[in-house]
Amino acid sequence: MHAARLHEYTDDMSEALTIEDVDRPTPTASDGVVVDIAGAGWCQTDNHVVEGMWEEYVPQDLPMTLGHENAGHVAEVGEEVTVVEEGDPVICHPVMTCGTCRPCRLGEDMYCENVAFPGLTHDGGFAESLLTNERAVIPLPEGTDPTDIAPHADAGITAYHAVKKAVAELNPGDTAVVVGVGGLGHIGLQCLDAMSAATVVALDPKEAARDLASDLGAHHTVDPSSEDVAAVVNDLTDDRGAKQVVDFVGADETTALGPDVLASGGDHHVVGYGGHVHEPAQTLVDGEFAYRGTLVGRYTELQELVALVDRGDVELRTTRYDLEDINTVAEKLEHGDIEGRAVLTP
Ligand SMILES: [Zn+2]
Ligand SMILES: [Zn+2]
């Protein structure tokens, strides 16, 4: 089968991955599930994996097939699998978990002590078929197209997980700030709108992104390249500040916004990454601010997101590409030229 594989870390996205023929996976364990990929989302994390940014965080053995936002149809199952059968449309939670370690028993899939992460530590879904396991697959409701929903496997669940934490702190009348209305931000914005009665302010320097934010339910939009974000937020909140910031960019300039726009006790959720947090400890003490990281989400949260999608509360803007065009997609995302989410269709 065809697969898009990383042979060497590089900053040159035009030669990021190589399309080659590899063996089709089989369910090697009794809980194994092979999924024929209908769609696999390209993610900023793929660019970061290509650049070698994940090498010191997770074990990686090159060459490796990338792709961690996967959905498709079950092709083959191990002998003990009961949750799905051949032909079922599924979305794949990004990690294969063991189910028996303490984090697994607490439902914290991402903290599993025996985790495997297709696309980061094992072969992923930029291929005709993917090997995952029973604990990762979520059957899709009737009428849900696996190609369209694929990016929710990581982009969606990550946005949802951050927003769910923010929503727990948001009361009606509070204000939430969404930073960046790209692949994740446009999903997070809709989750916020569906799950809270907060006033939502969306920041993005791109006019098209601000228009998208308004379409998707943002109450106010701000251009941080020409407007004073703190002044706008203070104006909108009678100088109280926002209760929650959900930062889908995670650059130095955006992480610096927290203390300027947050009300005392507020949280700045860091979802995107690449930059640093540079704040004096005293600033955090004075305002009781917290920076909170976000890593994907729980299996049950992906089920919840699928339910929101099924209700029509969250729509995903996607563009489809052939697997052969994968390096073009990598380059386009590197230059910010992809609206919503790119989905490869092997
Ligand atoms: Zn991703
Ligand atoms: Zn585990």
The mean of the pLDDT values for the chain is 96
DSSP state of 25: P
Banded pLDDT at 97 (limits 50, 70, 90)? very high
Q: What is the CATH number of the domain that holds 165?
A: 3.40.50.720
Q: How far is the CA of 246 from the centre of ligand 1 (A)?
A: 17
Quick one: which H or E segment has residue 181?
Answer: none
- Same-domain pairing of 25 and 132: yes
Q: How far is the CA of 44 from the centre of ligand 1 (A)?
A: 7
Quick one: tokens of 178? 């969404």
Q: How far is the CA of 343 from the centre of ligand 2 (A)?
A: 29
pLDDT for 29 equals 95
User: Is it the case that residue 271 has pLDDT exceeding 90?
Assistant: yes
pLDDT for 71 equals 98
- Same-domain pairing of 98 and 170: no
- Same-domain pairing of 208 and 99: no
pLDDT for 46 equals 97
Q: How far is the CA of 111 from the centre of ligand 2 (A)?
A: 7
pLDDT for 274 equals 87
Q: How far is the CA of 183 from the centre of ligand 1 (A)?
A: 10
Q: Say which ligand is closest to the CA of 158.
A: 1
Q: Answer with the one of 251, 266, 293 that is the final residue of a domain.
A: 293
Q: Say which ligand is closest to the CA of 47.
A: 1
Closest CA to 16 of 64, 58, 57: 64
- Same-domain pairing of 285 and 320: no
Q: How far is the CA of 81 from the centre of ligand 1 (A)?
A: 26
Banded pLDDT at 245 (limits 50, 70, 90)? very high
Q: How far is the CA of 96 from the centre of ligand 2 (A)?
A: 9
- Same-domain pairing of 105 and 34: yes
pLDDT for 247 equals 98
Closest CA to 39 of 139, 141, 151, 154: 151
Alpha-carbon distance of 167 to 181, in angstroms, equals: 18
pLDDT for 338 equals 84
Averaged pLDDT for residues 225-243: 97
pLDDT for 123 equals 98
User: Is it the case that residue 336 has pLDDT exceeding 90?
Assistant: no
Q: How far is the CA of 161 from the centre of ligand 1 (A)?
A: 13
Banded pLDDT at 103 (limits 50, 70, 90)? very high
pLDDT in tens, 278-295: 999 999 999 999 999 999
User: Is it the case that residue 296 has pLDDT exceeding 80?
Assistant: yes
- Same-domain pairing of 284 and 304: no
Task: Give the pTM.
Answer: 0.93
pLDDT for 183 equals 86
Alpha-carbon distance of 163 to 245, in angstroms, equals: 10
Banded pLDDT at 326 (limits 50, 70, 90)? very high
Q: How far is the CA of 64 from the centre of ligand 1 (A)?
A: 16
pLDDT in tens, 122-171: 999 999 999 999 999 999 999 999 999 999 999 999 999 999 999 999 99
Q: Please, which residues have CB within 8 angstroms of residue 248's CB and are 6 or more apart in sequence?
A: 159, 178, 179, 180, 181, 182, 184, 185, 188, 271, 272
Q: How far is the CA of 245 from the centre of ligand 1 (A)?
A: 21
Q: Say which ligand is closest to the CA of 152.
A: 1
Q: How far is the CA of 217 from the centre of ligand 1 (A)?
A: 24
Alpha-carbon distance of 139 to 49, in angstroms, equals: 28
pLDDT in tens, 27-72: 999 999 999 999 999 999 999 999 999 999 999 999 999 999 999 9
Q: Say which ligand is closest to the CA of 109.
A: 2
Q: How far is the CA of 105 from the centre of ligand 2 (A)?
A: 7
- Same-domain pairing of 210 and 262: yes
Banded pLDDT at 14 (limits 50, 70, 90)? very high
Residues with CB under 5 A from ligand 1 (ion): 43, 45, 154
* Between 32 and 274, the higher pLDDT residue: 32
Maximum Cα–Cα distance across the chain:
61
Helix/strand/coil (H/E/C) assignment for every residue in 302-336: HHHHHHHHHCCCCCCCEEEEEHHHHHHHHHHHHCC
User: Is it the case that residue 329 has pLDDT exceeding 80?
Assistant: yes
Averaged pLDDT for residues 206-227: 96
pLDDT for 339 equals 74
- Same-domain pairing of 189 and 135: no
Q: Please, which residues have CB within 8 angstroms of residue 224's CB and are 6 or more apart in sequence?
A: 203, 204, 205, 253
Number of domains in the chain: 2
pLDDT for 141 equals 95
Backbone angles phi, psi at 148, to 5 degrees: -70, -35
Provide the 3-class DSSP secondary structure of residue 197. coil
User: Is it the case that residue 228 has pLDDT exceeding 80?
Assistant: yes
**Domain containing residue 266:** 157-293
Q: Say which ligand is closest to the CA of 102.
A: 2
Closest CA to 204 of 225, 175, 234: 225
Percent of the residues in the chain that have a pLDDT greater than 90, as a whole number? 96
Q: How far is the CA of 110 from the centre of ligand 2 (A)?
A: 9
Residue type, 247: D
Alpha-carbon distance of 191 to 105, in angstroms, equals: 27
- Same-domain pairing of 124 and 45: yes
- Same-domain pairing of 13 and 132: yes
Averaged pLDDT for residues 198-203: 98
Helix/strand/coil (H/E/C) assignment for every residue in 87-142: CCEEEECCCECCCCCHHHHCCCHHHCCCCECECCCECCCCECEEEEEHHHEEECCC
Averaged pLDDT for residues 247-267: 97
Closest CA to 266 of 251, 246, 282: 246
224 cis-preceded (ω within 30 degrees of 0): no
Q: How far is the CA of 29 from the centre of ligand 2 (A)?
A: 16
- Same-domain pairing of 167 and 54: no
User: Is it the case that residue 340 has pLDDT exceeding 80?
Assistant: no
Q: What is the CATH number of the domain that holds 68?
A: 3.90.180.10
- Same-domain pairing of 315 and 286: no
Q: Say which ligand is closest to the CA of 49.
A: 1
- CA triple 296-302-304, angle to 5 deg: 130
